[in-house]
Amino acid sequence: DTGVSQDPRHKITKRGQNVTFRCDPISEHNRLYWYRQTLGQGPEFLTYFQNEAQLEKSRLLSDRFSAERPKGSFSTLEIQRTEQGDSAMYLCASSFMAGNFHEQYFGPGTRLTVT
Amino acid sequence: AQTVTQSQPEMSVQEAETVTLSCTYDTSESDYYLFWYKQPPSRQMILVIRQEAYKQQNATENRFSVNFQKAAKSFSLKISDSQLGDAAMYFCAYRSETSGNTPLVFGKGTRLSVIA
């Protein structure tokens, strides 16, 4: 088990460009979460999937953001027309839903800088 | 909406000493989990300890223990025999079990420094 992986680890882009991040969860994990963490803050929930179904989206997820999880495996998070306010660490986590408790395992994150 | 508050932006402790990190939360629900996560510099977040709200007994994991006061909505983390490797950001987090909503709600974190 290699843990949750995210790619790229760092991304620098110019305002107005589109970016896409990838998250590979722990195999067999059926739930996948995206969080955003800005400097000096704790992670904030963006969206989550159970298998391929996107079950919840935060109000933080504007129309410029879209997430997918085709076939219930890896997930992508795309930000269109990036803004400087999008600069943050984007964290992915996965869990296996079984019983009452399902620990979320976090990836190393993708740090986005919008110039 | 649930909120989590960590009132100590930074804390420091001498190596081998004990430190307590504070966390309070606000919820109207009765069924939930509370967590402490550790985020070392440039490394991924890992779970330190969890507490089920229905359990009265405080959780313990080796040198880490919690003081869970449900009525006061308080959930502090005690680190005993602090080690240099304990230096990190610590986040308190809440997860509802009532509505089936599973995303975590985090506090702003406490940066812990360990002094040799």
State pLDDT tens for residues B32-89. 999 999 999 878 899 999 999 999 899 999 999 999 999 999 999 999 999 999 999 9
**CA of B17 to nearest chain A CA: how many angstroms apart?**
26
Predicted confidence (pLDDT) per residue in A24-68, tens digit:
999 989 999 999 999 889 999 999 999 999 998 998 888 999 999
The pair of three-digit structure tokens given for residue B113, joined into one six-digit string: 């420094």
pLDDT recorded at residue A59: 87
- Which of B90, B104, B105, B111 is most worth mutating to test chain A (most A CB atoms within 10 A of its CB)? B104
Q: Which of B47, B91, B103 sits opposite A56 (nearest CB)?
A: B103
Pairing of strands B105-106, B32-39: unpaired
**B47–A42 C-beta distance less than 8 A:** no
Give percent above pLDDT 90 in chain A: 78
Angle at B48 between CA A102 and CA B15, to 5 degrees: 175
CA nearest to A97 within chain B: B102
**CA of A100 to nearest chain B CA: how many angstroms apart?**
8
Q: Which residues of A touch B43 (CB under 8 A)?
A: 108
Q: Is the pLDDT of residue A101 over 70?
A: no
pLDDT recorded at residue A6: 97
CA nearest to A96 within chain B: B102
Q: Which of B50, B91, B103 sits opposite A42 (nearest CB)?
A: B91
Is B61 an 8 Å CB contact of chain A?
Answer: no
Query: What's the per-residue H, E or C state across chain A?
Result: CCCCEEECCEEEECCCCCEEEEEECCCCCCEEEEEEECCCCCCEEEEEEECCEEEEECCCCCCCEEEECHHHCCEEEEECCCCHHHCEEEEEEEECCCCCCCCCEECCCEEEEEC
Is B90 an 8 Å CB contact of chain A?
Answer: no
| Whether the Cβ atoms of residue B38 and residue B89 lie closer than 8 Å to each other | yes
CA nearest to A6 within chain B: B44
Collapsed DSSP state (helix, strand, coil) of residue B111: strand
